Amino acid sequence: MWLSTLTDQQRDALLGLAHNVVVSDGLLDPNEEDMLDEFKREMALRPDAVADYLELEGIESIFDSRRARTVAVLNLLRLSYVDGAFEIEEECLLKEVARVFGISDDDFAHMDNWVRRLAALEEEARELMA
């Protein structure tokens, strides 16, 4: 969502952050792979683009606006829920990203709640199409 609004540097960094989220719990779920492919399509990245681990130090200078930071966190939250479980490792990582971005605990909780409601609506739509 809104990934096409990111700069090229932010797109590359988001892919790295997404990689961090996916590997944080030690499991790679097919749904996570599918969402990574969806991210690449929306960001107009090559399908074979490889995501590498990204250090959190300095990412606040890459995601230099509240909008870019919000887009990043919302999409990383979506990725963390796509396998059906928000693992503690994913939560800790995303809370650290939010902290580096200067996002308050209250705003993070609000974003998390929004993504959970979105995921429920997406699941409902899939059921309607089945």
Q: Is the model's pLDDT at 52 over the cut of 90?
A: no
pTM here is: 0.93
Number of residues assigned to the chain = 130
Mean model confidence pLDDT for the chain: 93
Give me the CATH number covering residue 120: 1.10.3680.10
Q: Provide the number of structural domains found in the chain.
A: 1
Higher-pLDDT residue of 52 and 92 is: 92
| Both structure tokens of 101 | 């971005």
- Judge whether 19 and 79 are in contact, CB under 8 Å: no
> Residue 12 has what pLDDT?
94
Q: Is the model's pLDDT at 28 over the cut of 90?
A: no
Containing structural domain, residue 88: 3-129
pLDDT tens digits for range 61-84: 999 999 999 999 999 999 999 988
